[in-house]
Amino acid sequence: MKGNFYDYQKNFFEAYNGGRLEEALKIAQEADSIFPDKACKTKYWKACMQGLLGRNEQAVEALEELAASDQWIDAGLLEKEEDLKALRGTSRFEKVVEVLKERGDKAKKASKPVLLEFAPEKSDGVLFALHMKMTGAGEISEYFRETVPTLNKSFVAIQSSQTVGTGLYCWDDMGLAKKETSSLIKAYLAKRGFTENDTVIAGASQGGRLVFELVLERILIPRMAIIVVGAFREVEKYREKIGSFPGLCALRFIVGARDPFANETVKLHEMAREKGANSQLKIYENMGHSFPDDFDEYLRKTL
C-alpha cells in the first residue's frame, strides 16, 4: 500500500478491529520498514499481532527491537496488554519491560505541555484541537492545519504533558489535563486578544471527552465544541450536569457506526438535545474510530 503514516495507522486498526490479524500484521511490518521514526508504534503493533497469532517468539523479538532502539513505549501498557499476555512472566519480556520503564521514567520527568500554532495573516478567531490518546499535537494537526487558516482562523494544537511513549501522549489524568489545557487556552486568548466566544475547541477520542467535560464543567465556554469519535463510556453520569450545559456553546458530534463508542455517543447527543442543548450528530456508516475522509469539507461547512 501507499500513503503517509496516518493512512497506514488507519488501515492497521481497521484490519485489527475487523479481526483480520494477518492483514494487520502485514501492514504493521510494512509501516515499520518505511517509518523508522514511528518504531514505538509499529513494533508494538507487530508484537501484538504476533502474540494474537500465537507466535510468541516473533512477538518478543519485535519488543526487543524496540528496546534496542532509542524509542520507548509505556512499560505499564505492555504489562497490561491482553494481546501480549502469553509473554508475561517470561525473562525476555521482563527484560524489555525493565529497559522501557527506565527510559520512560526519564522522559516523563522532562515532559511538558506544548502548543503548535498555525495562523493566517489576519485571524477572526481560533480553533484549538486536543489529540487522541497515544498520539500528539503533530498528528491531530494533520486534520486541521491546512483548512482552518484558509477560513481566517488560527489553529492551535495542544499536546499533553502526559507521555506514554516516544512522541505519544495521553489525557489519562483528567484533572491535570483540564488544568493544563484551560490554562494554555486562556493564556493564548489573552495574548492574541481573543475571547472564548471567538473560540472553537475540537477533540478526538480521549481528547473529545476532555473537550466535552471542559465545557460541561464550565471551565471553558467556547462558541462551539467539535467532538470527533469521543471516547465516551457510561454517559449516564453526565445527566445531572448536562441540564445546565452552557447555551452559548454548540455541540457537534462525529462518530462512526463501527466505532465501539458509537452507542454512548448517540445517547449523549440525545441527552443533550433533551436538555435543550444545541447539539448535532453526524454518523458515518462505514467508519470506525477514526477521522472521516471528508473532514476538510465538514470543517468548511461547520465553521
Q: What is the pLDDT of residues 50-87, one digit of tens each?
A: 999 999 999 999 999 999 999 999 999 999 999 999 99
pTM: predicted TM-score of the whole model, two decimal places: 0.92
pLDDT band at 6 (very low <50, low <70, confident <90, very high): confident
Q: What is the pLDDT of residues 255-276, one digit of tens each?
A: 999 999 999 999 999 999 998 8
Q: Are 24 and 32 in contact (CB under 8 A)?
A: no
